[in-house]
Structure 1
């Protein structure tokens, strides 16, 4: 993608990210979620895509715990992924997710969970079959998981960061 730069989000990006999320989702909820996750320190990885000096894409991965009978496992939740409607279907969202996955694997993360469109997230390897054994208030066909290690948990209760409770 010519002229596209993917980089870590910075404090000075907060307003642009909030505006982008509202533009992409048509409501302020996702922007407020991002603000709350960052303010609470629950952001694990946050990237933006810039084109011609403007932020046109954003992805956030936040803390997620998988609670089983005897143990808690650390994982990440992908939410939200936003691309400006003026540049959608140009691969920006895919570039953000691919780069985030690369960085998360290098950091030792073993499991990522997303609640979203199966056709879209399936292209990255997320499946509902992988998430079906997790106990979650949003359990259903849109709950999908992707693991990067044989050590990733396969069952348990998904405990999202507190900011998700406000949705």
Structure 2
């Protein structure tokens, strides 16, 4: 998992585009592959999404696209099953936007829709490994402050956690990602 493909300016917060979001359909799969490959300028994240679709970590309804008014996907956010020790949680990522739409709010719209869908499914905890100045706008906080870590070395500020249910405190422990992530 590399850095998220965004320019992290404030312009995204003031976008004039009214992004539509929805769960992916089978027809979106090729477009999602293109979005991830273009945003990261390499195939790794696109291949990861394809591998996750075949993994038990995949949760239908939590692969979200943001679309243009004509329903063309341009942004993407994925939530899959992970665990913090034995507690079920979700992993946010990859998140990607076609380069020509970055900083337009397409990524933020997909992430917000994904978090809302996860909450509707009764999920409580979300983990993200990403840019430390981007994800706090969605409520993510440094995971180490809650006793959450990884089995690999990453910058402390890059691993973040969020509870979708304020009545349920984040679990403590080590994040265990789905096998396709390649993190033991």
Bigger CA drift: 74-83 or 125-134?
A: 125-134
Q: CA deviation at 1:50?
A: 1.4
Bigger CA drift: 75-84 or 2-11?
A: 2-11
Aligned equivalent of 1:143: 159
For residues 18-73 of structure 1, what are the alpha-carbon distances to aligned partners after superposition, in whole Å with 9 as ceiling and x for unaligned? 11101001100000110011111322210111113321011100101111xxxx21
Does residue 157 (structure 1) correspond to residue 174 (structure 2)? The answer is: yes
Aligned length: 162
- Which of structure 1's runs of 4+ aligned residues deviate more than 4 A? 129-132
Structure 2 CA distance for aligned equivalents of residues 96 and 117 of structure 1: 16
**Contact between 2:124 and 2:164, CA under 8 Å: does it hold in 1?**
yes
Aligned equivalent of 1:61: 79
Structure 2 CA distance for aligned equivalents of residues 92 and 112 of structure 1: 20
Aligned equivalent of 1:18: 33
For residues 85-139 of structure 1, what are the alpha-carbon distances to aligned partners after superposition, in whole Å with 9 as ceiling and x for unaligned? 1111111111111111111112111110000111110111111156551131245
Aligned equivalent of 1:90: 104
Unaligned runs of 5+ in 2: 1-15
Structure 2 CA distance for aligned equivalents of residues 143 and 61 of structure 1: 15
Does residue 103 (structure 1) correspond to residue 117 (structure 2)? The answer is: yes
Q: TM-score, normalised by structure 2?
A: 0.81
**What is the aligned-residue RMSD (CA, Å)?**
1.8
Bigger CA drift: 147-156 or 55-64?
A: 147-156
Does residue 42 (structure 1) correspond to residue 57 (structure 2)? The answer is: yes
